């Protein structure tokens, strides 16, 4: 898909082990502009007095999951280091901690790679051969959140980019996180 000076590619990979991966690519012609002599904090100099402005590409994917039916729950999984104790005398033990995201207000989440934070979307009805709920784990990339200030026109039309994950119930009128035409919205 071409929008402005960028060619965007959305590549879905479906693996034999059930893994699904989405890769988003932005290529195309560099949007450049002339600039005064000297340093310029808001652009990368390509040749003398010609710069490419610093900007942020934002991608949003809405997943309407149906894992062995339409009844499921979402848990956030993190790694927790255990304190020194008789059970952990050399302080190298850690465990996985699960937090159930019960409400939409709880399910506005940010990625934290230091904690190995992932999300498990699992069936409330079906189990696998180990009696664990069937499900998928979402491994986030850890990309930065929206860099623009909250008062900016960008932030007003890209509220979704203030969090890495929003878990919501299906609603037909919420198909597009940024709205149907965010690039044309006045903010």
Range of the domain at 80: 63-187
- The predicted pLDDT at position 134 comes to 93
Confidence category of residue 145, pLDDT binned at 50, 70, 90:
very high
99 and 20: one domain? no
Rounded to the nearest integer, the mean pLDDT of the chain is 88
Query: What pLDDT digit, counting tens, does each position of 26-72 carry?
Result: 888 888 888 887 777 888 888 888 888 888 888 888 888 888 888 99
43 and 74 together in one domain: no
- Say whether both 121 and 186 belong to one domain: yes
Average pLDDT over residues 128-154: 90
The pLDDT of residue 18 is above 90: no
How far is it, in rounded angstroms, from Cα 98 to Cα 112? 14
Question: pLDDT per residue over 106-134, tens digit each?
Answer: 999 999 989 999 999 999 999 999 999 99
Among 37, 55, 73, the domain-final residue is 55
Residue 187 is predicted with a pLDDT of: 63
Output the pLDDT for position 89.
94
Residue 78 has pLDDT above 90, yes or no: yes
What is the reported pLDDT for 41?
84
Cα 169–Cα 172–Cα 173 angle in degrees, nearest 5: 105
Query: In terms of domains, do 71 and 50 share one?
Result: no
Specify whether 84 is located in the same domain as 169: yes
Number of domains in the chain: 2
- Reported pTM: 0.79
- Pair 171, 87 in one domain: yes
Whether 159 and 166 have beta carbons less than 8 Å apart is answered as no
3-class SS of residue 10: strand
pLDDT surpassing 80 at residue 186: no
Tell me which of 179 and 172 has the higher pLDDT: 172
Say if residue 72 is in the same domain as residue 164: yes
Nearest 5 degrees, angle CA 106-CA 126-CA 76? 25
């Amino acid at each position: 898909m071409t929008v402005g000076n960028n060619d965007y590619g959305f590549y879905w990979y479906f693996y034999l082990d059930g893994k699904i991966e989405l890769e988003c690519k932005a290529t195309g012609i560099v949007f450049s502009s002339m600039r005064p002599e000297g340093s310029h904090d808001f652009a990368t100099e390509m040749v003398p007095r010609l710069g490419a402005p610093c900007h942020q590409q934002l991608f949003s994917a809405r997943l309407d999951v149906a894992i062995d039916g339409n009844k499921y729950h979402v848990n956030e999984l993190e790694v927790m280091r255990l304190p020194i104790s008789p059970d952990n005398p050399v302080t190298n033990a850690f465990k996985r901690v699960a937090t159930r995201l019960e409400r939409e207000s709880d399910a506005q989440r940010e990625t934290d790679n230091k904690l190995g934070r992932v999300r498990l979307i699992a069936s409330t009805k079906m189990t696998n051969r180990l009696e664990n709920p069937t499900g998928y784990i979402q491994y986030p990339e850890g990309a930065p959140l929206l860099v623009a200030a909250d008062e900016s026109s960008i932030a007003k039309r890209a509220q979704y980019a203030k969090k890495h994950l929003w878990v919501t119930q299906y609603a037909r009128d919420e198909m597009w996180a940024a709205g149907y035409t965010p690039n044309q919205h006045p903010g």
